[in-house]
A and B are shown apart, each in its own frame.
Chain A
Amino acid sequence: MATDTGPEAARRTPLYDLHVARGGRMVDFAGYALPVQYGGIIAEHEQTRDRASLFDVSHMGQARIVGARAAEALESLVPGDIAGLGAGRMRYTQLTGDEGGIRDDLMVTRLAGNALAIVVNAARKDDDFAYLGAALADRGCALEIEEDKALLAFQGPKAASVLETEIPGTDGLAFLQGDLFHWRGTPLWISRSGYTGEDGFEISVPAGHATALAETLLADDGVALAGLGARDSLRLEAGLCLYGHDIDLTTTPVEAGLTWSIGKRRRAEGGFVGADTILDHLRNGTRRRRIGLRLKDRTPAREGAEICDAAGAPVGRVTSGGFGPTVGAPVAMGYVAIGHAAPGTPLTLTVRGRALPARAACLPFIAPGYRR
């Protein structure tokens, strides 16, 4: 997760001083100095599942797409149904490549009028913005990068009541709905969304107001900061993909089990980058599939571990893995040959030369707390 270069050389988010003051152990993540943990990953993970946690995700790329035909322009680059989004509604989709692989995954929100807001991965944002800027310009739209905004993820079953007290009306948002609110005169775009498997919100806040907002939310006894370590274990238990690990240019959305995110109309009409391959995968199936893996014993299997069938023949590889604090056992995700993907299929994961017994499992590993 963290790279070997120290956090000293990395860019700072607007919350950097708050992280350091509150004991964050700073690492370089995608070129940003961010806290991997404050007290401990397991405590921060459980805090998020049981109460509420605040995560700094300001490293992610925020931008707007403006133009009379913004939705149609973006639809030529993603398989998601964007034109069908109502105002204030958001959706998960992928920027696809020519061969049907995934350039990045992103959230898209329809703003008032025709404009769209997008949030992309930190490690991909420079590439994404260059690609989108050119591709959208060809389609008569403009990409406006929001450099001056922080992004807070406020996640957990207590987040809604704490946020409602501070910013009335926010608890009225449905899952994957966003709206403009004002807090002490500052405009905030708040959506009911996140990447932890819990109910929660993502708050786009002008950089200069981010620390004050974070400190206000943290003043509640039920709220604590959480770092990248807990963010990773939470999203793994929630069965959510991490770009560059579980999905990349070599995996199609169908292989990755993201078929649910491809709009019905888009399946019928195509018309997006990589559609030939992706529609073929939808019609004819794929040779491999991303699955969940539950391990029988206590040794975690990490990214890169080989997956073998019951007879010991290699059938795939782990793409994310570790200990699931809420599950209370090691869990992993990976790709296997399609004949081994059915939940319950006995498999082994090779760790330090040993074959650890495991079974293919349904995702997510936990019951999500999303408010439907």
Chain B
Amino acid sequence: MPTTYYSEDHEWLRVDGDTGTVGITDHAQEQLGDVVFVELPEIGRTVLKGDDMAVVESVKAASEIYAPAGGEVVETNGALEDNPAAVNEDAEGDGWFVRLKLADPAELEDLMDAEAYAAFVSSQS
């Protein structure tokens, strides 16, 4: 049963075994507005927790996406190349960015669960 974690940078990380899928939250896509391009990392690249891992370009601006946990990039969502709007339409599903082979499960400990993230978002507004 996968478990979903959330970061203060508005990324989600769905962990299934030692693999984690990363995207931006629905709240984040709403704030960014229409996504027109997503720059994804190369497969095989190793990222540390907090590294810039991808860039989301909205009509307005470019936003860095940080790795919510460290690991090796094992897959990227190539469908975003033709349809970046998937990030707006289904941010926490089809709009995923990368799959990581997670380096260290201990790094998940300071991420939030859905309830804590919802409270974090409402505390920010």
The verdict on A40 contacting B61 (CB below 8 Å), with A298-B81, A299-B39 known, is no
* B60 lies within 8 A of A325 (CB): no
Whether a CB of chain A sits under 8 angstroms from the CB of B75 is no
The verdict on A36 contacting B60 (CB below 8 Å), with A41-B33, A41-B34, A42-B34 known, is yes
From B33, B37, B59, give the contact of A299 (CB < 8 A): B37
CB closest chain-A residue, reference B88: A40
Bound state CA distance, A302 and B88, in angstroms?
21
* A298 lies within 8 A of B37 (CB): yes
Residues of A within 8 A of B55 (CB): 352
8 Å CB contacts to B: which residues of A107-145? Answer: none
From A229, A298, A330, give the contact of B60 (CB < 8 A): A229
Contact with A along B42-65 (1 / 0, CB 8 A): 000000000000010101111000
Whether a CB of chain B sits under 8 angstroms from the CB of A1 is yes
Residues of A within 8 A of B60 (CB): 1, 36, 41, 229, 322
The verdict on A40 contacting B34 (CB below 8 Å), with A299-B39, A323-B59 known, is yes
Residues of A within 8 A of B34 (CB): 40-43
Whether a CB of chain A sits under 8 angstroms from the CB of B69 is no
The verdict on A300 contacting B36 (CB below 8 Å), with A1-B60, A233-B59 known, is yes
Bound state CA distance, A325 and B57, in angstroms?
13
Bound state CA distance, A232 and B49, in angstroms?
36
Residues of B within 8 A of A229 (CB): 33, 59-60
Whether a CB of chain B sits under 8 angstroms from the CB of A93 is no
* A323 lies within 8 A of B33 (CB): no
CB closest chain-B residue, reference A25: B33
* B37 lies within 8 A of A322 (CB): no
Bound state CA distance, A330 and B37, in angstroms?
10
Whether a CB of chain B sits under 8 angstroms from the CB of A37 is yes
Residues of A within 8 A of B62 (CB): 300, 302
CB closest chain-A residue, reference B84: A298
Bound state CA distance, A302 and B62, in angstroms?
8
Q: Give the shortest distance, in Å, between A251 (CB) and chain B (any CB).
A: 24
CB closest chain-A residue, reference B85: A42
Q: Which of B34, B62, B88 has the most CB of A within 10 A?
A: B34
CB closest chain-A residue, reference B52: A352
CB closest chain-A residue, reference B81: A298
* B33 lies within 8 A of A300 (CB): no
* B36 lies within 8 A of A323 (CB): yes
From B37, B39, B59, B81, give the contact of A41 (CB < 8 A): B59
From B37, B81, B88, give the contact of A300 (CB < 8 A): B37
Q: Give the shortest distance, in Å, between B40 (CB) and chain A (any CB).
A: 11
From B39, B57, B59, give the contact of A42 (CB < 8 A): B59
* B81 lies within 8 A of A322 (CB): no
Q: Give the shortest distance, in Å, between B28 (CB) and chain A (any CB).
A: 14
* A40 lies within 8 A of B57 (CB): no
From B37, B39, B59, B81, give the contact of A325 (CB < 8 A): B59
Contact with B along A31-43 (1 / 0, CB 8 A): 0000011001111
Residues of A within 8 A of B61 (CB): 302
* A40 lies within 8 A of B33 (CB): yes
Q: Give the shortest distance, in Å, between A1 (CB) and chain B (any CB).
A: 7
8 Å CB contacts to B: which residues of A284-323? Answer: 298-300, 302, 322-323
8 Å CB contacts to B: which residues of A215-236? Answer: 229, 233
Bound state CA distance, A352 and B57, in angstroms?
12
CB closest chain-A residue, reference B36: A323
8 Å CB contacts to B: which residues of A29-56? Answer: 36-37, 40-43, 45
Q: Give the shortest distance, in Å, between B97 (CB) and chain A (any CB).
A: 15
> 25 interchain pairs (CB within 8 A)?
A1-B60, A36-B33, A40-B33, A40-B34, A40-B88, A41-B33, A42-B36, A42-B59, A43-B34, A45-B59, A229-B33, A229-B59, A229-B60, A233-B59, A298-B37, A299-B37, A299-B57, A300-B36, A302-B61, A302-B62, A323-B37, A323-B57, A323-B59, A325-B59, A352-B55
* Residues of A near any B CB (own CB < 8 A): 1, 36-37, 40-43, 45, 229, 233, 298-300, 302, 322-323, 325, 330, 352
* Residues of B near any A CB (own CB < 8 A): 33-34, 36-37, 39, 55, 57, 59-62, 81, 88
Q: A1-B60, A42-B59 given. 20 additional CB < 8 A pairs?
A: A36-B60, A40-B33, A40-B34, A41-B34, A41-B60, A45-B59, A229-B33, A229-B60, A298-B37, A298-B81, A299-B37, A299-B39, A300-B36, A300-B37, A300-B57, A300-B62, A322-B59, A323-B57, A325-B59, A330-B36
